[in-house]
């Protein structure tokens, strides 16, 4: 908030504030024995979701339960490793860049040390986290591929989840990633497509074509079917037409995802999308949200149930 909307924050709070890059201020405030720069959190706290009324609300409640059971973010049996923060994108709808800044990656040695620590403590499931994992290492002269090559050379029975890989980088690195996918060490991949319309993607400043994304996901569906896939879609982006929306609906017929998050576009102060002409009426956004959400929920139900049961057993370990 201090970086995204400081004026709104000051109306509620007039004390000390700082952004992520200035977090070192905590060292002085807390008289910390360990500097914040050295703090590593390998387990995340669950977050509650607001309950929506009606039939769709009950479905979402079930999906929230299912998500917690399978989630690479919430299971106590999963060891989390934050690879980087910040990104190299400039999406027109996103305010995160203002708070996180450009990508800042941990060194390969530090990440491998965290990974080995998890292995030594008996963890079998790992999750690589980042604002945009695909951009990892670009500030250090290396890449996500370099990191995964090193990680998958470690001996042991383990699996790795890849969270928040922008489709731009997924497409760019796909051929280099294929041997890593073939290793059987990757069990989850999240890549947010946002829209299946090239016109909307261009307005979003997403830097990839939908056909390139489709090509990558089709190969994953066909050649690496055991990898769980997650994506997200935004409905009601400014100027989105019924034709644009139908493209996103059809995307779920063409490609197979295990989990699809659907969001209604909402304006974020300071972003260019907030002031674009052609804002879609709330009633239209709500209708598209319901339609796409229902379609998303019905994708691959057998795999969802299987993964829920599997993750339930993991949580008993």
Confidence at residue 53, expressed as pLDDT on a 0 to 100 scale: 56
Whether residue 229 contacts residue 187, with contact meaning beta carbons closer than 8 Å, is answered with no
Q: 49-61 pLDDT, tens per residue?
A: 555 555 556 555 5
User: What is the band of 149 on the pLDDT scale with cuts at 50, 70, 90?
Assistant: very high
Q: 207-261 pLDDT, tens per residue?
A: 999 999 999 999 999 999 999 999 999 999 999 999 999 999 999 999 999 999 9
In the chain, what are the domains? 1-39 (no CATH), 41-316 (3.80.30.20)
Confidence at residue 192, expressed as pLDDT on a 0 to 100 scale: 98
Q: Is the pLDDT of residue 45 over 90?
A: no
User: What is the band of 296 on the pLDDT scale with cuts at 50, 70, 90?
Assistant: very high
Confidence at residue 308, expressed as pLDDT on a 0 to 100 scale: 56
Whether residue 26 contacts residue 32, with contact meaning beta carbons closer than 8 Å, is answered with yes
Q: What sign for the dihedral angle of Cα 100, 212, 178, 124?
A: positive
User: What percentage of the chain reaches a pLDDT higher than 90?
Assistant: 66
Which of 172 and 41 is assigned the larger pLDDT? 172
Between CA 278 and CA 35 the distance in angstroms is: 48
Q: Is residue 89 helix, strand or coil?
A: coil
Confidence at residue 164, expressed as pLDDT on a 0 to 100 scale: 95
CA distances from 77 to 125, 312, 313 (A): 7, 10, 10
Residue-averaged pLDDT of the chain? 87
N- to C-terminal Cα separation, the chain: 38
Whether residue 189 contacts residue 228, with contact meaning beta carbons closer than 8 Å, is answered with yes
Residue whose entry in the numeric block shows the structure tokens 């995340």? 44
Other Cβ atoms within 10 Å of 199 Cβ, number: 14
- Averaged pLDDT, 134-143: 97
Confidence at residue 8, expressed as pLDDT on a 0 to 100 scale: 85
- Averaged pLDDT, 280-304: 88
């Amino acid at each position: 908030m201090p970086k995204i909307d400081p004026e709104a924050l000051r109306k509620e709070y007039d004390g000390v504030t700082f952004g992520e890059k200035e977090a070192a201020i905590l060292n002085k405030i807390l008289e910390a024995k360990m500097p914040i720069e050295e703090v590593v959190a390998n387990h995340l706290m669950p977050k509650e979701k607001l309950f929506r009324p009606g039939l769709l609300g009950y479905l979402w409640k079930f999906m929230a339960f299912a998500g917690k059971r399978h989630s690479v973010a919430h299971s106590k049996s999963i060891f989390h490793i934050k690879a980087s923060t910040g990104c190299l994108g400039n999406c027109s709808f996103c305010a995160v860049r203002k708070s996180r800044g450009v990508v800042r990656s941990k060194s390969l040695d530090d990440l491998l040390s965290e990974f080995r620590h998890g292995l030594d403590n008996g963890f079998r499931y790992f999750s690589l986290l980042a604002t945009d994992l695909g951009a990892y290492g670009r500030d250090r002269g290396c890449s996500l591929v370099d990191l995964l090559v090193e990680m998958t050379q470690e001996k042991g029975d383990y699996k790795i989840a890849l969270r928040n890989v922008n489709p731009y980088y997924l497409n760019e690195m796909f051929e280099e990633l294929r041997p890593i996918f073939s290793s059987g060490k990757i069990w989850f991949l999240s890549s947010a497509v946002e829209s299946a319309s090239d016109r909307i993607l261009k307005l979003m400043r997403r830097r990839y074509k939908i056909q390139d994304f489709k090509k990558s996901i089709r190969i994953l569906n066909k050649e690496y079917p055991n990898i769980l896939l997650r994506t997200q879609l935004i409905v009601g982006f400014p100027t989105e037409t019924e034709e644009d929306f139908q493209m996103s609906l059809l995307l779920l017929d063409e490609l197979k995802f295990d989990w699809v998050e659907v969001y209604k576009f909402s304006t974020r102060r300071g972003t260019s999308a907030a002031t674009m002409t052609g804002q879609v009426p709330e009633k239209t956004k709500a209708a598209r949200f319901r339609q796409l959400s229902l379609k998303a929920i019905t994708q691959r139900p057998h795999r969802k149930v299987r993964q829920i049961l599997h993750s339930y057993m993991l949580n008993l370990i």
